[in-house]
Amino acid sequence: MRHRPIPGSSGTVRAMTLLGEKVLHAPCEPVTEFGPELARLVEDLFATMYAAEGVGLAANQIGEGVRVFVYDCPDDEDVRHLGHVVNPRLVEADGPAVRGPEGCLSLPGLEAGTPRFDHAVVEGFTATGEPVTVSGTGFFARCLQHECDHLDGLVYTDRLTGWRKAKAQRDARRAPWGRTS
């Protein structure tokens, strides 16, 4: 899926944090200051996500240990969802648990069947401090849960068990970027 940048976005594409880097595996700190620095971070997250052709990106994936993520993600009906959440809290994750293919920009080239709930609701704030609630189903619900996990210091492979987990760990060790936790 090709993504288009936000009109007027002037963000900077930043280096991606990879599996095994400390900031990716630690819970992120809440944002306490809303202002130009936070707005710039959101723009950088969008620019980096689009450059990597992703559908979501958390701040710790570009080395910033704060609770912010962006998304430009379709749901199962191909409705586009575009936005960002500061200090997100996953307040609902329910419905059938569906095992579906999941990848991550911090584990480039890898994918595994990962269980996620079919419905998710996230509450938080915009970069200007306004309250926001984001609700999604299907693929978009998967995206919301995935990005919230990042901010809690988890990657999707932490949700795997058995042979799927063993295969993902082996594939990560063999990947050109070759870091594992």
130 as an active site residue: the answer is no
CB-side exposure of 149: number of CA atoms within 13 Å?
A: 20
pLDDT band, very low/low/confident/very high, at 181 (cuts 50, 70, 90) = very low
Residues 15-52 have pLDDT tens digits of 999 999 999 999 999 999 999 999 999 999 999 999 99
Residues 62-92 have pLDDT tens digits of 999 999 999 999 999 999 999 999 999 999 9
Residues 135-178 have pLDDT tens digits of 999 999 999 999 999 999 999 999 999 999 999 999 999 998 87
Which positions make up the binding site for Fe cation? 104, 146, 150
In order of their start, the domains of the chain are 22-174 (3.90.45.10)
Q: What is the C-alpha separation between 111 and 73, in angstroms, rounded? A: 17
Q: Are 48 and 38 in contact (CB under 8 A)?
A: no
Which positions make up the binding site? 104, 146, 150
pTM of the model: 0.91
User: What single-letter amino acid sits at 160?
Assistant: L
